[in-house]
Structure 1
Amino acid sequence: MTQTETNIRLAVGEEACKPVLFINKVDRLIKELKLSPKEVNERLTAIALEVNRLIREVAPFKDWKVSFDDGTIAIGSAKHGWGFTKDILVRKKVSPNVVFEKYSQGDEAWLRKNLPLDEALLEMVIRHLPDPATAQKYKIPRIWEGDVESEVGKALLSMDPNGPLLGMITKIFIHPKSKRPILIGRVFSGTLEAGRNVWLAWAKRPGRVQRLGVMEITDILDVPKIPAGNLFAIYGFVCPAGETIMEEGANLPPFKEIKYVAEPVVSIAIQPENPQYIDKLEKAVRLWTAADPTASFRIDKESGEYILSGIDPLQLEILYKRINEMVKIKVSEPIIVYREVPTRRGIEIHTKSNNGHNRVKLYIEPLEPEVIELIRTGKISQDQDSRERAKIIHDVAGWETRFARNIWQIHGTNILIDDTKGAQRLDRIKTYLQTIFIDYCNGATLAREPLMNAKVVLTDATVHVDPAHTGYTEILSMMISALHISFLTSEPKLYEPILRIDIRTPEGTEGTVAGILNRRRGLIRNMMREAGVVKIQGEIPAAETKGLADELRSATQGKAFWGYEPAGFKPLPEKMQLEKIMEIRKRKGLPEAIPTPKDFERNIYPSGRWTGKV
């Protein structure tokens, strides 16, 4: 239920999507757990009660719920292609016990033919989900940044086809044969037309609608225009899901960015089997990571490998198989991605460039939890108006307004701030400093793992008057040295990704399952009995999940169900810190010794020596 809970919280609670429920994998209850009809009914009833409890906690309307009796719950097996609602059984005069009979006979084909899953799902959508004209009235205030009392707001609320164009890309579909990306979304106001340019609000660039239509399975059925309230399919450009489209030249408030509750914690390295295909690999990786916003990639500048990151090994397995269809690749074993975190304020360090003509002074300290939460929830972002962002941070975290306005860069949950006063020609090297900061966030000092929850504050800078002496290499030498030194004096720690785990196991096996979790540094939060099974909820480090599936299956004769959900990061136990840092450094081919401030002393201003006191 961990992922179900997250989906309900985001879809129902935050975006006001009215719910219907499909309970999947009923085949496992019958074939693997060998539950009786009464026991299956008890299990399904318990699931429905729990889902309704979650809906009640977040739903904008009190009457929103799901029920077997009104046809808003379907049950079935996606694997075997069957499903039904109570209404379908009544209409077809079929007893639910027929499912048990057909599985005992091994006749899943009968179920797929007579109780097709698509019929059950489509019927729930048609009968129970609101039409766009009804839903937009309560959804727009939740998903749109603008004033609903404005002319644009009124056009959105009324779904006006003659209003200003505003639409949202909600999914990127990659055609299974051609591998062409198709953007799927909805028009909320105005009319979208084929052959026209649109403006991508978040990307701040235009895109041309070469083909426009609606999807029929994997194909686009071309239409010349699509008015407000309808879904669309576009071919012609690529952008991430959540992008707002509007008329080119318009300056309208965009839809709020789609929030994802997870960040990548597992990585693999991929390389083309044929080195000449590196450009093809980059194209394929960019395409598939655009289609899955919870995945990301970067190029390791030292090895030349593409580092593909995701929320779990299964996601990465799916991605690299899809990439491999476009270009043959070599893949490393999955690697857990840790985070490097400052735990107190580091020293304010003054460094100089290699040529001695430029200087920078800065310190690193932990970013306030309130600001971290603002970033995670999307309430502040890199592209936001600086005044608006500063006001939010001032109101929530108490930062001085001038200080908050001078944010230069937000990358992950890290912030770079210009707090210099009277520094001349600093704008000349601003983009260099931003680039170096971003690179450092992608790989910090201890083991080149990503930086997390850090505030980097520039307090002084000297920039040479002659641009010939302010090249990137010179700026890099002083900036990276300052970052390393201040971070190393901030008592940095390695943080590990934690997963929330939800296990349902037969009664009598819960002790063994609990023992498995305890041996793997797991933490059990809750244990309860329901309908012949024991539900175990807890947390487990992502690094401890390797081989867990096989161990759980063996301990429960394959009868346990479980699911994961990212639960953030926690400090790696102190006794494991050094060993893990050394292990990661060895894997990455880094020097065995962990850097110290003395390693960067030649760039310390003015002395060029590290004494431990600056």
Structure 2
Amino acid sequence: MKHPKELRRIFSISAHIDHGKSTTADYLLSKAGLMSAETAGEKRMTDSDEEEQERGITIFTTVVILSYEYETTDAEGNTREDTYLFQINDTPGHLSFTGEVSRALRGSDGALILVDALEGMMTQTETNIQLAVGEERCKPVLFINKVDRLISELRLEPEDVFGKLNIIASQVNNMIKKLAPPELKKEWAISFKKNSIAIGSAKDGWAFTVEILKQRGLEPKDVFQKYADDDKAWLRANLPLDDALLRMVIQHIPNPGTSQKYKIPAIWKGDLESEIGQSLLNCDPEGPLLGMITKIFIDPRTKRATLIGRVFSGTLRKDDLLFLVNRRQKHKIKRLGVMEITDILEVPSIPAGNLFAIFGFVCPAGESFYRDGFAVEGFEKISYAAEPVVSRAIAAKKAADMSKLGEVVSTWIMADPTASYEMDPKTKKIVLQGIDPLQIEILISRIDEQVSLNVSDPVIVHRETITQKSATFTTKSNNSHNRITLYVERIPDGVAQALREDKISPYMERKERARTISEASDEQWDNKFARGYWAHSDTNMLIEDSKGVQRLDRIKEFIIQAWITFTRKATLAGEPLTNCVFIITDATVHVDPAHTGVTEIVSMMSSACNLSYLSAKPRLLEPMMKIEIKMPEDYVGALTGLLSQKRGIIQEISERGGSTILKAIIPTVETLDLADDIRGATAGRGFFGYTFERFDDVPGHLLDKTVESIRLRNELNPQVPTASTWERFIYKTSR
């Protein structure tokens, strides 16, 4: 791993589902000698998991290493041959696994964006460019794949083919210009002239840039003629796909040393002038160690977990004791190396600017680490454009497997932080939550391979929130010796977003946290008020704004415990609360600890939360998905009718590459049987993907029925409680 930094490239291959990522990766594997040239384009070797092969989609990011001999000629005609080392991530294209893409891009310096020439820009294409350019500062290059379809299926003339390709290039460029840092917009713009766009066919194994075509003395019409002659072998031999793509990557995707100069300020918020800051910017292998875990690979056969990530500063050594920044734990490395699809190639050390593989412990993907004893600030959390809106309960079929089940679930959730889980205290079942039904289905399938499961039907998780500021309530404990006064109101949007992005933490220094909260509130809250932060749960916050209350710290943890319990199951339907702030303005705490026990304080706080919440006009929100369906034009009528029945809102219907693309917004609850419905409505010729869009109010005519149904599901009385339920806890002053 001591290959010269200038001759190394780390990049991810990203695309919409079925646009040809894994087929393209096959040719790169063939170049590396990891598979035969004859099977390249057919085997999809990076889809090593059985379920990936069965479903025909990439689910997990796969890492590949290859070397490439690249020859250059200077102005005087002298030739030079250099050996480049590539570390490549083949990422999923399905919208359900966008988290895998985000984490792969965190460890990459560039992104090879694939677009189907027939279909053009699709939803996941846009998402990938947003993640690569806008969030992870990965320089893009473009491969327009499946050009053979324009030639063979649509039988377009050359000028019409290039017209379609120019439209795709223009669409990609518009997104790059919108998302790239101002100082990089011009440099990162892709163009045929700069050879940052390649066109070709992964299925047939050929591709070219303008430069390659000129060097070979060829013209586009020659490609058309070879298809007319049915001589695809000539194209593969004379315009090999791997050469075109790797040359483009060498010329346009930066080496780690160059990339980190602009990537680090976007993903690390420490002092750039400090020793570690300078080491990060310069990708210095001699500096302090700082790296990040970007993926957990769980071997399909052994089920052992391997951590994959990148060293950004310093050198990682096989005998290192690592300190995990977020988990605040120490772990020893047992094996260190680099990942090659499913195997670890062991090495003694990994310098900055390289991906690594570690075996010996497990931690969540997205964790930062440094060498124990040399503390430095960790990286920014990877943000995911998703909300957990689907849940399913699981339990081990054998009681003896319950302990093992907890360990297995924990490992898989660490591998995919866009999912979560909790133990239901009543049923003792584990409740999994994810961004859509497919993600949860895949997760359960993985867990079931290790522990035989009983699985509940999927449940759509709604949210509760308020419409207005509540009245202020003072409640008392059961023994009447303690009191608390509070109200609830909507949290500022900026603070909710900061919580969603994990920019606010209970572990932050108090003044720093207050400053962050105040800035996020758009100065609606000043620093003094923000210093009253006690806790947060999802996008809800608890703030203490009382004056001179004695002994309040004694009951603080009991108050927080009751409040968090309330936010997870609010009053209206027992669903999670969102975007609310509870503000404590006064309290009375008895001098004798015997009268301030957990039962007394929890009942007092819980009643205050329920009373204030009910007075703030609570609302029930349902998750909405953005769906994109590709189908033959003949089925548009059937699909629009189907979506109308499911409360869908059609946003756009367009023609692309001989297919009709329909985009709509649809309630998540209506997507549970959607796959079968779409197959039925299109005779199996409709393909779709969806992603979380937003939360909307449940329509008024459905509200009562929906609330009752959810309450029954949550094992609550079907009737929504009123303020009278907690009236006995209200503190009334004597007259």
TM over 0.5: yes
Structure 2 residue corresponding to 1:392, chosen from 516, 529, 532 = 516
| Residue number in structure 1 paired with 2:208 | 86
Q: What's the offset of the Cα at 1:377?
A: 4.0
Letter in 2 for 1:407: Y
Query: What SS does structure 2 have at the residue aligned with 1:363?
Result: strand
Letter in 1 for 2:262: Y
In the alignment, is residue 259 of structure 1 matched against residue 366 of structure 2?
Answer: no
Q: What's the offset of the Cα at 1:523?
A: 2.1
Query: What SS does structure 2 have at the residue aligned with 1:500?
Result: strand
Q: How does 1:554-565 map to 2 (within 5 A)?
A: 554-565=680-691
In the alignment, is residue 224 of structure 1 matched against residue 224 of structure 2?
Answer: no
Q: What's the offset of the Cα at 1:511?
A: 4.2
Q: What's the offset of the Cα at 1:321?
A: 0.5
| Residue number in structure 1 paired with 2:507 | 383
Could you tell me which runs of 5 or more consecutive residues in structure 1 were left unpaired when the two chains were aligned: 609-614
Q: Deviations over 1:397-448 (max 9, x none)?
A: 4202211111111221111111121122222222222222222222211221
Distance 1:30 1:449 in 2: 54
Q: How does 1:305-384 map to 2 (within 5 A)?
A: 305-384=429-508
Distance change (3 Å), C-alpha of 1:442 and 1:531: same
Distance change (3 Å), C-alpha of 1:346 and 1:76: farther
Q: How does 1:439-588 map to 2 (within 5 A)?
A: 439-507=565-633, 509-588=635-714
Q: Deviations over 1:454-481 (max 9, x none)?
A: 1111122222333333332222211111
167-176 vs 278-287, which deviates more? 167-176
How many pairs are equivalent? 599
Q: Deviations over 1:352-384 (max 9, x none)?
A: 222333222221211122222232344434433
Query: What SS does structure 2 have at the residue aligned with 1:262?
Result: coil
Overall identity of the aligned pairs, in % = 49
Distance 1:408 1:117 in 2: 57
Structure 2 residue corresponding to 1:10, chosen from 89, 113, 131 = 131
Query: What SS does structure 2 have at the residue aligned with 1:63?
Result: helix
In the alignment, is residue 411 of structure 1 matched against residue 532 of structure 2?
Answer: no
Query: What SS does structure 2 have at the residue aligned with 1:280?
Result: helix
Distance change (3 Å), C-alpha of 1:26 and 1:465: farther
Q: What's the offset of the Cα at 1:550?
A: 3.3
Q: What's the offset of the Cα at 1:101?
A: 10
Q: Deviations over 1:120-154 (max 9, x none)?
A: 87676556422101111111111111122222221
Query: What SS does structure 2 have at the residue aligned with 1:518?
Result: helix
Q: What's the offset of the Cα at 1:35?
A: 5.2
Indicate if the aligned counterparts of 1:241 and 1:293 stay in contact, CA closer than 8 A.
yes
In the alignment, is residue 173 of structure 1 matched against residue 297 of structure 2?
Answer: yes
Indicate if the aligned counterparts of 1:198 and 1:207 stay in contact, CA closer than 8 A.
yes
Query: What SS does structure 2 have at the residue aligned with 1:19?
Result: strand
Structure 2 residue corresponding to 1:153, chosen from 272, 277, 289 = 277
Indicate if the aligned counterparts of 2:643 and 2:666 stay in contact, CA closer than 8 A.
yes
Distance change (3 Å), C-alpha of 1:589 and 1:603: same
Q: What's the offset of the Cα at 1:24?
A: 7.4
In the alignment, is residue 208 of structure 1 matched against residue 329 of structure 2?
Answer: no
Distance 1:203 1:397 in 2: 32
| Residue number in structure 2 paired with 1:273 | 397
Superposition TM-score, scaled by structure 2 size? 0.74
Q: Deviations over 1:325-361 (max 9, x none)?
A: 1111111111111001111122222222223332222
260-269 vs 348-357, which deviates more? 348-357
Query: What SS does structure 2 have at the residue aligned with 1:11?
Result: helix
Distance change (3 Å), C-alpha of 1:127 and 1:172: farther
Indicate if the aligned counterparts of 2:144 and 2:197 stay in contact, CA closer than 8 A.
no
Distance 1:377 1:371 in 2: 10
Indicate if the aligned counterparts of 2:544 and 2:585 stay in contact, CA closer than 8 A.
yes
Distance change (3 Å), C-alpha of 1:526 and 1:101: farther
Q: What's the offset of the Cα at 1:96?
A: 7.6
81-90 vs 439-448, which deviates more? 81-90
Q: What's the offset of the Cα at 1:75?
A: 6.2
Query: What SS does structure 2 have at the residue aligned with 1:12?
Result: helix
Distance change (3 Å), C-alpha of 1:559 and 1:400: same
Q: What's the offset of the Cα at 1:533?
A: 3.8
Indicate if the aligned counterparts of 1:270 and 1:332 stay in contact, CA closer than 8 A.
yes
Letter in 2 for 1:164: P
Distance 1:84 1:422 in 2: 75
Letter in 2 for 1:9: Q
Indicate if the aligned counterparts of 1:66 and 1:73 stay in contact, CA closer than 8 A.
no
Distance change (3 Å), C-alpha of 1:514 and 1:493: same
Letter in 2 for 1:50: Q
Q: What's the offset of the Cα at 1:119?
A: 8.2
Q: What's the offset of the Cα at 1:50?
A: 2.7
In the alignment, is residue 240 of structure 1 matched against residue 364 of structure 2?
Answer: yes
Distance change (3 Å), C-alpha of 1:467 and 1:446: same
Q: What's the offset of the Cα at 1:14?
A: 2.1
In the alignment, is residue 423 of structure 1 matched against residue 423 of structure 2?
Answer: no
Letter in 2 for 1:166: L
Distance change (3 Å), C-alpha of 1:426 and 1:266: same
Q: Deviations over 1:556-584 (max 9, x none)?
A: 44444432121121111112111111111
Q: What's the offset of the Cα at 1:221?
A: 2.0
Q: Deviations over 1:64-98 (max 9, x none)?
A: 24567837446667xxx87553369978x995898
Q: Deviations over 1:541-561 (max 9, x none)?
A: 111223333333444444444
Q: What's the offset of the Cα at 1:99?
A: 8.8
Letter in 2 for 1:187: V
| Residue number in structure 1 paired with 2:729 | 603
Q: What's the offset of the Cα at 1:197?
A: 1.6
Distance change (3 Å), C-alpha of 1:47 and 1:307: farther
Query: What SS does structure 1 have at the residue aligned with 2:139?
Result: coil
Q: Deviations over 1:5-25 (max 9, x none)?
A: 222112211221012346678
Letter in 1 for 2:560: Q
Superposition TM-score, scaled by structure 1 size? 0.88
Letter in 2 for 1:6: T
Query: What SS does structure 1 have at the residue aligned with 2:428?
Result: coil
Distance change (3 Å), C-alpha of 1:408 and 1:504: same
Query: What SS does structure 2 have at the residue aligned with 1:20?
Result: strand
Q: What's the offset of the Cα at 1:302?
A: 1.5
596-605 vs 564-573, which deviates more? 596-605
Q: Deviations over 1:245-301 (max 9, x none)?
A: 112233423211111110111111111111221111111111101101110111111
| Residue number in structure 2 paired with 1:193 | 317
Q: What's the offset of the Cα at 1:165?
A: 1.1
Query: What SS does structure 1 have at the residue aligned with 2:187?
Result: coil
Query: What SS does structure 2 have at the residue aligned with 1:326?
Result: coil
In the alignment, is residue 56 of structure 1 matched against residue 177 of structure 2?
Answer: yes
